Amino acid sequence: MVAPMNFNEEYTRRIDYIEKILRRYLPAQEGYQKVIMEAMEYSLMAGGKRIRPMLMLETYRLFGGEPGMIAPFMAAIEMIHTYSLVHDDLPAMDNDEYRRGRKTTHIIYGEDMGILAGDALLNYAFETACRSFDLDGEYAVRAGKAMKILAGKAGIYGMIGGQVVDVKESGHEVSGDVLDFIYRLKTSALIEASMMIGAVMAGAEDEDIRTVEQIARKIGLAFQIQDDILDVTSTTEVLGKPVHSDEKNKKTTYVTLKGIEESKKDVERMTAEAIRELNRYPAQDEFLEQLLKSLVYREK
Ligand code: GRG
């Protein structure tokens, strides 16, 4: 008889594995510019749920990927995500002092180094992902495809584009369509990149990669709506960052448009749909299903 999976144990095991990878790919702290390597480590190793590399790894496994080949992209996606948080916290953006339960990077290292640490993580993400080109034959071809996805989903047609509209539309009410656009780009794009890159590096067919993109889009939307809910219902101690930040920044969110109860139902519905669509694949992944379910009821 197969023993039932202990989700919490498996989750902790994966966090440890991902953090080992992140440490392995961080640059050595040396040279006249050492302070930037310190600031990169400070922000990258501050904890966090590591959802993006985790989804990448699980999708890679779902499509039969061999151990090891995906590691540079797992590190790269978390570096890009962390850079976005470092910049999002800057005085010119949300001006926040706490993130992941500790002082934000610009508070510790100053605004100038905060900007540079974000830039450094973004650039180093691509330097890290480029290491996949050193892999053998077919993997180098897959790495090229994955790189294109990473660059596109992080850029003006992806996360940065979403952030631009989010910042531009702050301070007044926006329509549901504009909000969907912001969420799809600002939050879903990196989750799409994570899962698509997992599939690409495992050698999935183009049609499956497109399906994975659609599934990840739903997961990203559900994730962002839950983020909106927690901003209203949670506490600074639990979240590790300020609550009521959407109200402070006068942002339209799913919660302001639809209310908490409706938003919760949407998170549950989108997650159930994503799980159903993933379950069509013959190689099922119990951890992935549990992970998606846990995101619906997450507290931070
Ligand atoms: C280019 C100046 C400049 C800034 C770019 C793109 C950008 C800044 C910011 C967008 C980042 C952002 C706040 C997206 C929202 C997505 C979201 C819910 C982030 C929180 O992710 P979690 O919950 O965080 O995974 P942890 O800490 O767990 O990793």
Q: What is the CATH number of the domain that holds 290?
A: 1.10.600.10
In a domain, 257, yes or no: yes
Substitution site in 19, 88, 183, 253 for ligand 1 pocket (most atoms within 8 Å of beta carbon): 88
Residue type, position 214, single letter? Q
**Residue 103: strand pairing partners:** 98
Which ligand 1 atom is at minimum distance from the Cα of 52? 25
Cα(52) to centroid(ligand 1), Å: 11
In a domain, 253, yes or no: yes
In a domain, 2, yes or no: no
pLDDT for 214 equals 98
pLDDT for 250 equals 85
pTM of the model: 0.96
- Contact between 228 and 246 under an 8 Å Cβ cutoff? The reply is yes
In a domain, 1, yes or no: no
Q: Whose CA is nearest to atom 5 of ligand 1?
A: 84
Q: Is any atom of ligand 1 closer than 6 Å to the C-beta of 163?
A: yes
Buried b (16+ CB within 10 A) or exposed e, 1-40: eeeeeeeeeebeebbeebbebbeebbbeeeeeeeebbebb
Q: Can you give the residue range of the structural domain that contains 212?
A: 7-296
In a domain, 32, yes or no: yes
Q: How many domains does the chain have?
A: 1
CA nearest 103: which of 240, 206, 215, 199? 240
In a domain, 279, yes or no: yes
Name residues of the chain where pLDDT drops below 70. 1-3
Cα(140) to centroid(ligand 1), Å: 29
Rounded Cα distance, 160 and 162, in Å: 5
